Amino acid sequence: MNQYAHALLKLGAVKLSPQNPFLYASGLKGPMYCDNRALLSHPVSRNLIIDGLIHLQNGLDYNQLAGLATAGIPHAAMMADRLKKPMCYVRSKPKEHGRGNQVEGDVSPGETVLMIEDLVNQGSSLRDAVNGVRKADLKVVDCLCIVNYQMPKAKSTCEQLEIKLHSLVTFDDLIQAALELNVVTNADILTLKNWHNDPEAWSKQWS
């Protein structure tokens, strides 16, 4: 049993709706929605996730934690506090005024950062953040995320960026946990898997 997947589903940080799909920022529709910001209001679940992320970073050598804006920032901050580590954060794009920074914090060229993201779907946000960090002359060790949808596009992006994605909860974990919690039927699982196999084609069915 993946305790983190159970916690996210019970809390509603991950919602499954195979028959009434969500509209994503990309314009596509899908049966799964993840909002880990909900964790911030629930100390027990929040601490469980932070414990898990801290466990994931064991053995990794880095100078600073780097939270990805916006949802990765609070989790990185809590980890940094627990670990007594420096922290910075990464904007989705450089500021259009001031110093034009994409990476905010007291960082020095050549430092290594461990990136913290709440959700990796197609991997485009992660790609933009990694490129921004590298433009700031920082080195990316790897990335930790709370939820990984295990999309082929994201896997390909990580390979191109030459980073490893360490995940607390995967799509497979969520499917298994949903069955264990009796919140989906076998037909729902088939719908979720069909979406996962080809998100664009699945979305067109609902247009």
Reported as a single tens digit per residue, the pLDDT across 99-113 is 779 999 999 999 999
Of residues 172 and 1, the one with the higher pLDDT is 172
44-50: which pairs have CB atoms within 8 A and are 24 or more residues apart? 45/7, 45/8, 45/11, 45/13, 46/78, 48/3, 48/4, 48/7, 49/4, 49/7, 49/75, 49/146, 49/168, 50/75, 50/78, 50/79, 50/82
Check if the beta carbon of residue 120 is closer than 8 Å to that of residue 165: yes
Domain borders along the chain are 3-204
**155: enclosing H helix or E strand:** helix 152-161
Residue 115 pLDDT level (bands cut at 50, 70, 90): very high
Q: Are 102 and 67 in contact (CB under 8 A)?
A: no
Task: Look up the pTM and report it.
Answer: 0.95
Distance CA 51, CA 130 (A): 24
Look at residue 207 in the predicted model and tell me its pLDDT.
74
DSSP letter at 112 equals E
Asked if residue 62 has pLDDT above 70, the reply is: yes
Q: How do residues 132-191 score in pLDDT, each as one tens digit? A: 999 999 999 999 999 999 999 999 999 999 999 999 999 999 999 999 999 999 999 999
- Check residue 156 and give left, alpha or beta (phi > 0: left; psi -120 to 50: alpha): alpha
pLDDT in tens, 11-46: 999 999 999 999 988 888 999 999 999 999 999 999
Residue 1 has pLDDT above 90, yes or no: no
Average pLDDT, the chain: 95
22 sits in which H/E element: strand 22-23
- Closest of 141, 124, 76 to residue 104, by C-alpha: 76
CATH 3.30.450.40 fits 3-204, yes or no: no
Check whether the bond before 191 is cis (ω within 30° of 0): no
> Residue 96 — very low, low, confident or very high, per pLDDT cuts 50/70/90?
low
pLDDT of residue 25: 80
User: What is the SS3 assignment for 144?
Assistant: strand
Residue 206 has pLDDT above 80, yes or no: yes
